[in-house]
Copies of this chain bind each other. A is one copy, B any other.
Amino acid sequence: MAGNKSTAESYADYKARMQKIADVKYAIAVLGWDQETYLPEKGAAFRGQQITTLSGIAHELFTSADLGTTLQALHQNNELSPVERKNVELSLEDFEKNNKYPAAFVAALSDATNECYHAWIKARKANDYQLFAPALSKMVELKREEASLLGFTGHPYNALLNEYEKGMTTGQLDTIFQEVKSSLSPLLAAIEKQPPVDKSFLHSHYDKNVQWSYGIELLKQMGYDMQAGRQDLSEHPFTTSFNPLDVRVTTRVDENDFGNMTWSCIHEGGHALYEQGLPTDQYGLPCGEATSLGIHESQSRLWENNVGRSLNFWQFRYPELQNTFPGNLRTVSLHDFYKAINKVQPSLIRTEADELTYHFHIMIRYEIEKGLMDGSIDVKELKDIWNKYYQEYLHVKVPDDVHGILQDIHWSHGSFGYFPTYSLGSFYAAQFFAAAQKQVPGLDESIATGDYQPLLNWLRTNIHPYGRFYTSNELCERVTGKPLEFSAFMEYANKKYSGIYGL
Contact = CB atoms under 8 A, between A and B. Distances in A.
A40 B283 contact: no
Contacts of A103: none
A193 interface: no
Nearest to A244: B46
Contact of A246 (B30, B42, B243, B245): B42
Contacts of A54: 23-24, 27
A57 interface: yes
A229 interface: yes
Given A23-B53, A34-B30, A46 B228 contact: no
Contact of A53 (B20, B30, B52, B229): B20
Interface in A1-59: 19-20, 23-24, 26-27, 30-31, 34, 38-43, 45-47, 49-50, 52-54, 57
A242 B46 contact: yes
Given A40-B228, A245-B43, A50 B23 contact: yes
A84 interface: no
Interface string A312-323: 000000000000
A24 B57 contact: yes
Nearest to A29: B50
A283 B46 contact: yes
A230 interface: yes
A274 to B, nearest CB: 17
A226 interface: yes
Interface string A243-269: 101101000000000000000000000
Contacts of A248: 40
A474 interface: no
A89 interface: no
Contacts of A31: 27, 30
A146 to B, nearest CB: 28
Contact of A57 (B50, B57, B230, B245): B57
A128 interface: no
A344 B47 CA distance: 44
B50 A228 contact: no
A54 B242 CA distance: 14
B243 A41 contact: no
A246 to B, nearest CB: 3
Nearest to A61: B57
A20 B56 CA distance: 10
Contacts of A227: 40-42
Contacts of A41: 227
B53 A24 contact: yes
Contacts of A229: 40
A54 B50 CA distance: 12
A228 B41 CA distance: 7
Contacts of A20: 53
A219 to B, nearest CB: 12
Nearest to A283: B46
Contacts of A246: 39-40, 42-43, 46-47
A163 interface: no
Contacts of A24: 53-54, 57
A245 to B, nearest CB: 4
Contacts of A283: 46
12 contacts: A19-B49, A24-B57, A27-B27, A34-B34, A40-B228, A40-B230, A40-B245, A40-B246, A41-B227, A43-B242, A43-B246, A47-B243
